[in-house]
């Protein structure tokens, strides 16, 4: 399975050099137009926990290219009414610069503590700026927000969520008029406008109530109808209506739509994980509400085993990521990683469209540069164009927009448990992914086999690919510098061999240059700049290094592959590839 190591840390605060700046910010809050309860909380922290107070004010919570994300609480470095309001004012100012006439936005939120409050705060600020707001009446999945933006004809949107982060976090994701998270130049221009908001006094907090419209069931039905239209084999779903499905929303928004969409697909043997069925921002049964984590799926796995189910599915709090569990050839329940799930989904749609005679010469699929190259191999052998983009579904959406009218987008995905089926939603969508994965399981069951068996067949046909991820956190204020130095070392002095195999190419996405290390030839990478390095080895191994933009963390993605002569050789071949990854990580000083 794909290994992931995630660590959330506080940065160290050098109080001697930052005291004056911190104190000035605290004084501004104590004397400014902030609620008295906030001022009382600051005063209490001054006496009881000055270190926590310093961390809350030593910097401003950054509005990055994806919006806001951080710990909830008082202070400039926290998610709260004021940081959300100031971000929204900057976003509203930019929308008004870009568009004339009536401007509409859609707003959604997940199950997290304060998410409804942040969504209403966002709605009030937009409305006070004369912008027409369509606010979901209650929690809804992120993909439905993307769908609503496109359906209503909005110029932008916001969803209040911190995705799969722990319960202490919340966030604010900003969208553009195509239903996707913003890309250049809009992301950078919004940041400029947000940075101009110097005070809460610059924010229009209220006075636009008439501009807010609540939405709910009608949008749900439109979205569900769209997802139902993605089915390739509805007759198979009807025939396999008793497919035994176990589903967990992990206390999140999936409960609002997943049971309904499975019913629309014709599945009537769906079992919910009761312990995780009720939306709850405290996520009482898990530490990380992330279907990538075995701990988050453990209750579902136990239920699937007890019921002898056909498939287990879990979605994260805002329902953009999906994890699945299946039985292997020994009857043991396992969790598939994101690359394996993507391989199955991409292959299913490519094969099914061809079999049904609906494939077109201009069909295309899209993946990210750190997602398994097995998908490229499958697409090439089926004469389907496969494009690679930077990490993040906003780049998949951007490519769809670029190719509209010229090529037909079928499916996109990335290794971090995200799929986007069809082009009516422009962000990763676990709701439609759950439906598709269940249809795939039904299709394989109609053939007398499982999804796991199908995966093994694909390994024999296209080669065995194994991926792994190691995430390293460098603590403290020097962490970012250590990571930068690490990247510069790889960039200026790349290894000539790794695990005894020659490094053929160095792909530098920051410089937008690829280099053949054996001939010295350089060539252009036609993607936006991103601080990612990739080493491509002569044997097909790919190693990617990608620092986080928000934390002192660097991720290393490993992809190795080899031939698989028969299914009986799988375990031996898999171990050889696992051992290879271990050797490479050790050689690079990561183990």
The residues annotated with a catalytic role in the active site are 163
Phi (first) and psi of residue 211, to 5 degrees: -90, 0
Residue spans of beta strands (DSSP E) within 385-541: 385-389, 408-414, 418-421, 464-473, 497-498, 501-508, 513-516, 522-524, 533-537
Query: What is the sign of the dihedral through the CA atoms of 449, 454, 456 and 457?
Result: positive
What's the distance, CA 289 to chain centroid? 13
Report DSSP letters for 438-480, one per residue: HHHHHHHHHTT--HHHHHHHHHHHH-EEEEEEEEEE--STTHH
State phi, psi for 530 to the nearest 5 degrees: -160, 140
| Count of residues in the chain | 591
Instruction: With beta carbons less than 8 A apart as the criterion, state whether 388 and 532 touch.
Output: no
What tokens appear for 112 in the block? 């997290």
- C-beta of residue 139 within 8 angstroms of C-beta of residue 119: no
| C-alpha closest to that of 410 among 423, 398, 419 | 423
Q: Which pair of tokens denotes residue 369?
A: 């540069």
First-to-last C-alpha distance (Å) of the chain: 17
Could you tell me which residues come within 8 angstroms of residue 353 by beta carbon, excluding any fewer than 6 positions away? 232, 359, 363, 410
């Amino acid at each position: 399975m794909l290994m992931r190591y995630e660590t959330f840390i506080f940065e160290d605060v050098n109080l001697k050099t930052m005291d004056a700046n911190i104190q000035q910010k605290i004084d501004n809050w104590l004397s400014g137009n902030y609620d008295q309860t906030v001022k009382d909380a600051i005063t209490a922290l001054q006496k009881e926990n000055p270190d926590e107070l310093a961390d809350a004010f030593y910097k401003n919570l950054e509005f990055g290219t994806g919006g806001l994300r951080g710990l909830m609480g008082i202070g400039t470095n926290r998610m709260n009414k004021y940081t959300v309001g100031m971000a929204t004012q900057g976003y509203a100012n930019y929308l008004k610069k870009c568009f004339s006439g009536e401007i509409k936005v859609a707003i959604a939120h997940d199950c997290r503590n304060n998410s409804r409050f942040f969504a209403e705060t966002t709605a009030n600020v937009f409305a006070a700026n004369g912008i027409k707001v369509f606010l979901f009446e209650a929690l809804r999945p992120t993909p439905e927000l993307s769908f609503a933006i496109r359906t209503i004809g909005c110029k932008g949107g916001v969803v209040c969520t911190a995705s799969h982060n722990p319960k202490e976090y919340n966030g604010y994701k900003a969208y553009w008029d195509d239903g996707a998270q913003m890309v250049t130049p809009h992301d950078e221009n919004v940041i400029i406008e947000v940075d101009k908001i110097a005070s809460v006094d610059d924010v229009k907090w209220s006075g636009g109530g008439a501009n807010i419209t609540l939405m709910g069931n009608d949008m749900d039905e439109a979205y569900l109808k769209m997802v139902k239209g993605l089915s390739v084999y509805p007759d198979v779903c009807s025939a396999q209506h008793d497919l035994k499905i176990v589903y967990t929303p992990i206390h999140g928004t999936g409960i609002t739509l997943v049971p309904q969409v499975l019913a629309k697909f014709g599945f009537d043997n769906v079992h919910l994980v009761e312990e995780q069925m009720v939306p709850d921002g405290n996520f009482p049964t898990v530490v990380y509400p992330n279907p990538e984590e075995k701990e988050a799926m453990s209750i579902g796995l136990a239920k699937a085993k007890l019921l002898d189910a056909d498939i287990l599915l879990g979605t994260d709090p805002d329902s953009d990521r999906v994890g699945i569990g299946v039985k292997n050839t020994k009857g043991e329940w396992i969790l598939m990683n994101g690359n394996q799930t993507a391989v199955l989904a991409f292959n299913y749609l490519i094969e099914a469209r061809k079999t049904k005679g609906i494939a077109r010469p201009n069909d295309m699929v899209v993946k990210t540069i750190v997602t398994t190259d097995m998908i490229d191999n499958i697409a090439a052998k089926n004469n389907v164009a496969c494009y690679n983009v930077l990490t993040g579904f906003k780049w998949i959406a951007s490519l769809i927009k670029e190719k509209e009218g010229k090529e037909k987008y079928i499916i996109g995905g990335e290794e971090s448990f995200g799929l986007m089926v069809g082009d009516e939603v422009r962000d990763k969508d676990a709701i439609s992914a759950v439906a598709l994965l269940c249809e795939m399981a039904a299709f394989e069951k109609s053939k007398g086999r499982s999804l796991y068996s199908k995966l093994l067949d694909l390994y024999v046909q296209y080669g065995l690919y194994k991926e792994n991820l190691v995430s390293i956190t460098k603590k403290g204020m020097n962490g970012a510098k250590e990571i930068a130095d690490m990247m510069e070392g790889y960039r200026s002095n790349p290894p000539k061999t790794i695990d005894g195999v020659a490094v053929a190419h160095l792909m530098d996405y920051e410089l937008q240059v690829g280099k053949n290390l054996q001939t010295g030839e350089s060539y252009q990478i036609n993607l936006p700049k991103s601080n990612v390095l990739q080493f491509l080895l002569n044997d097909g191994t790919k190693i990617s290094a990608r620092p986080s933009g928000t934390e002192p963390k660097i991720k290393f993605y490993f992809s190795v592959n080899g031939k698989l002569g028969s299914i009986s050789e799988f375990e031996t071949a898999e171990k050889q590839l696992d051992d290879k990854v271990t050797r490479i990580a050790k050689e690079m000083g990561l183990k």
